[in-house]
Every structure is written in C-alpha cells, then in structure tokens.
C-alpha cells in the first residue's frame, strides 16, 4: 500500500514538474456563451453540404472575437474557402456538425492564430472535419491542405473533435503556450506525410488521443519545452516521434507515458542527422507495443533526412522505462536501437524495466552507438566518452514481456484510394485506462 501511494505521488510530482504552469482556457464555455453566441446559421451558413461555410464562419467569428461562442450546429457543411480566425480573445468555437472539405487550395482549412483564452470542441464528441484526402492521395499527392493549425495561441484547449483523412498534416500547434488537447480521434490514410499531431510549443498537455495514419502519431518538434503526452493510442500508425531535428535544436522537459502502439512503424523514434543544439530531460515510460516494425528507434544518422549543419544534436538525461510487448521481427529490427552522434555521444541515457520479444523467429538484437548510460548495450561513461558501435543478440524471451492488447486494434489500414469513415472517439486510449476527462458527449 505504501508502495502504491509512493508511486502515485511520484507520477503526480512528474506531472506537476513537467508542465510549467496551468493549461487550458481562462474562462468557461458557459461564460463565453452567456456573453454572446454567434450561430453560423445566422450568418448565411446552411447544413446542406453545398453552401460554402467559409464566409459565414468568418463573419460569425468577427462578431464574437472579443468574447463569445461561435457555434456550428449539427448537420453536414461544405468548406470551399479556407478560414483564418485571427486575434480573438475569450472565445470558443463549438463544432457539433461535420465539415467536409470542398476546396483544393493548399494551406490550412481552419487556421487559428494570435488567440488567447480559446476553446475548440464538440459538445457531442461527434463533431468532425472530413478532409477527403483520398481525392489527392489516389494520385500520390500529399500537397493538399492541412485540416487544423494553431499559431501563437495561448491558454487554450482542443477536445472532443474528430479529424479524418487530411490531404496533408492533420493538426499542428506552432509556437503556442499553455494548452490542453484531449479526447480526439484522428484517422488518416496509409501514406507518409500525413502526421496526426505535431507540436512545437511550451507548456502543453496532450492526452487521450487515437491516431491512425502512416506517418507520425504524436510528435514533438523544435523548439519545445514542458510537454506532457500521455494515454495515446497509435492504432496502425507511423508511431510517436521527436524530430526530425536539425540546427539549434531546443527541446527540454518532455514526458511521454502510457503510449500504446499497434502495427506501426515504431513505438518511439528520435531522429536527426547532423545538426546542433540540445534535447535533454526527457522520459519515455509505460509503453506497450505489438506488431510494430521498430520499438525504440533512436537514430542520429537518419537517412531520410539530409545531413544538417553541425556535429550532431546533444542528447542527455533521457530515460526509457517500463516498456513491454512484442515487435514484428526482432532479428531484423531489434527492440532497442540507440544510435548517437560520434562527435557528441549521448550521455545519461537510461533503459530499465524493459521486456519485449519478437513475434517472428527466436532472437532479437540490441544495437548501441556512441551512447552512454545504463542498460542493455549502453556503455558506462566512467572512462570518458568516445565513438563505438556494439550489437548483442538475445535468444531467450525476457520474463514479463506479455502485455495487454486493445479491442479496437485495426485489422488493416485505410489505404489511399477510398474515403475514410468518420469514427467515434474511443472510450479508452491505453489498456485498462479510462480517459482523464469524460467525453463531452457522455455528460
């Protein structure tokens, strides 16, 4: 009992320490609604899937930008004209309908910038933006629009929203602060370049998210500080990542925990090729994986990135702990691959409480290069650091590798040639866990 209490206190301390302050809107939706409600139907919108929602949504925002609720009621809407909503304060955007992409321009279908005290949500947990990206992807084109982008937004939340089949990235947070993102389903095509969530911001809490796509699930990019990411379901995805990193990398105080990854490219990838700057103080704990190509793929010579200026990113004080499950083929792609820059070896790397085993064959490999710390093939730095490469092979399964699966694990991807159905937001994003916040639609 004392151990359980101590462990709970430790997790609480990690969460408090991870975020640098409070996150989320400063005022409630009910307060904003009471100030003013701007229903898009009153500004010319029609739920007929024919009338362009862009101008009415822009006009409704203009009327409520200084405080109020912009409301898109249930129904089907067409978005031909991309929307930039700039400069609002103490406002919310409630999308209870389904918005279908009609236009073909690049950019962002919905772009929110320079906002503060902001909330984007669906009160029914069934509001959705359908990008119909297959119309691009069938020809191998991923240069269409992103669905959603936030830029320099502070004290905000995005939740209970569904993003489907973006022609390009689904959701990006660029230079934002003090945000909470939760209770979302993101479902994309089986094609690279269709990231789920990308974040380069400060003091952001991302939790209870499902992502299906062929590229990154939930990814931190530079610069980023004080990011807490937990209860993430990468369901037939590219998997979570940090990077790719280049010159002047500036990332610190990152926690990923309770990450479940099924049939994806990797459970976690940290990727760079040359570059400079620092990634430090990061924890990756409580990961479960099944059927993934890579498990931990820490690659400072990532061949898909052109070599960046510099001797390499400095990686230090990074912990991987409590990883369990299986990988697709451990002899071909072992569950531990830590490849650090020869000119600036990684230091203070820890791998502990790690039990994973191969689903194919009877052996798996652990590979380390210029990586110092404790666990598996990492070297102790008591004698200094220098470049090295070592690979070891295990021929017996470790004890305790068995791990739970999720009932909603997909049997296949959604390909690239047909429309992707709009899913329901899951009621669990990690085995045995319920969402930290109840779905709005269940209230």
Confidence class for position 13, pLDDT limits 50, 70, 90: very low
pLDDT (0 to 100) of residue 5: 41
pLDDT in tens, 94-134: 999 999 999 999 999 999 999 999 999 999 999 999 999 99
Give this prediction's pTM. 0.95
Kindly state the DSSP code that residue 41 receives in the 8-state scheme. G
Q: For this structure, is 290 an active site residue?
A: yes
pLDDT (0 to 100) of residue 2: 39
279: number of CA atoms within 13 Å, CB side?
A: 32
Strands 216-220 and 224-235 come out as: unpaired
Query: Which secondary-structure segment (H or E) carries 59?
Result: helix 54-64
Confirm if 252 and 283 have CB atoms less than 8 A apart: no
pLDDT (0 to 100) of residue 383: 86
pLDDT in tens, 243-278: 999 999 999 999 999 999 999 999 999 999 999 999
Catalytic entry in 290, 297, 299, 324: 290
**CATH numbers and ranges of domains, the chain:** 22-214 (2.160.20.10), 215-412 (2.160.20.10)
Peptide bond into 223 cis (omega under 30): yes
Distance CA 116, CA 235 (A): 32
Distance CA 191, CA 213 (A): 7
Confidence class for position 68, pLDDT limits 50, 70, 90: very high
pLDDT (0 to 100) of residue 212: 98
pLDDT at 10 > cutoff 90: no
pLDDT at 65 > cutoff 70: yes
Distance CA 70, CA 419 (A): 29
Catalytic entry in 96, 215, 231, 253: 215
Q: Tell me the three-class secondary structure of 224-283, residue by residue.
A: EEEEEEEEEEEECCCEEEEEEECCCEEEEEEEEEEEEEECCCCCEEEEEEECCEEEEEEE
Instruction: Read off φ and ψ for residue 24, nearest 5 degrees.
Output: 105, 175
pLDDT in tens, 381-396: 988 999 999 999 999 9
pLDDT at 443 > cutoff 80: no
pLDDT in tens, 194-234: 999 999 999 999 999 999 999 999 999 999 999 999 999 99
Q: For this structure, is 215 an active site residue?
A: yes
Confirm if 305 and 273 have CB atoms less than 8 A apart: yes
Question: What mean pLDDT is reported for the chain?
Answer: 95
């Amino acid at each position: 009992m004392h151990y359980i209490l101590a462990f709970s206190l430790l997790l609480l301390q990690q969460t408090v320490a991870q975020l640098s302050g409070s996150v989320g809107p400063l005022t409630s939706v009910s307060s904003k609604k009471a100030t003013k409600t701007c229903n898009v139907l009153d500004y010319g919108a029609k739920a007929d899937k024919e009338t362009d929602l862009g101008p009415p949504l822009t006009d409704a925002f203009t009327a409520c930008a200084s405080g109020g609720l912009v409301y898109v009621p249930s129904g089907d809407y067409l978005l031909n004209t991309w929307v930039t909503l700039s400069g609002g304060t103490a406002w919310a955007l409630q999308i209870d309908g389904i918005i279908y992409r009609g236009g073909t321009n690049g950019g962002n279908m919905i772009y929110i910038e320079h906002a503060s005290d902001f909330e984007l949500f669906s009160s029914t947990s069934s509001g959705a933006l359908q990008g119909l990206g297959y119309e691009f992807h069938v020809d191998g084109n991923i240069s269409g629009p992103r669905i959603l982008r936030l830029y320099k937004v502070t004290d905000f939340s995005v939740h209970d929203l569904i993003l489907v089949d973006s022609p390009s990235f689904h959701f990006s947070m660029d230079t934002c602060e003090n945000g909470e993102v939760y209770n979302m389903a993101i479902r994309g095509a089986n094609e690279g370049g269709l990231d789920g969530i990308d974040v380069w911001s400060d003091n952001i809490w991302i939790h209870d998210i499902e992502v299906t796509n062929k590229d990154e699930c939930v990814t931190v990019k530079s610069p980023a500080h004080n990011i807490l990411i937990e209860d993430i379901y990468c369901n037939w995805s590219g998997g979570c990542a940090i990077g790719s990193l280049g010159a002047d990398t500036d990332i610190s105080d990152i926690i990923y925990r309770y990450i479940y990854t099924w049939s994806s490219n990797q459970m976690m990838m940290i990727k760079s090729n040359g570059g400079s700057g620092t990634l430090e103080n990061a924890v990756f704990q409580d990961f479960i994986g099944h059927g993934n190509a890579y498990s931990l793929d820490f690659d400072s010579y990532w061949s898909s990135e052109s070599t960046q200026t510099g001797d390499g990113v400095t990686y230090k004080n990074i912990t991987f702990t409590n990883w369990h499950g299986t990988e697709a083929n451990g002899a071909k792609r072992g569950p531990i691959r830590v490849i650090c820059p020869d000119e600036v070896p990684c230091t203070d790397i820890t791998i502990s409480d790690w039990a994973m085993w191969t689903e194919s064959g009877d052996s798996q490999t652990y590979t380390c290069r210029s990586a110092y710390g404790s666990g598996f093939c990492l070297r102790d730095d008591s004698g200094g650091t220098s470049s090295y490469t070592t690979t070891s092979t295990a021929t017996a399964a470790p004890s305790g590798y068995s791990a739970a699966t999720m009932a909603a694990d997909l049997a296949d991807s959604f390909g690239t040639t047909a429309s992707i159905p709009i899913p329901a937001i899951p009621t669990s994003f990690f085995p045995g866990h319920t969402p930290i916040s109840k779905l709005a639609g269940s209230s």
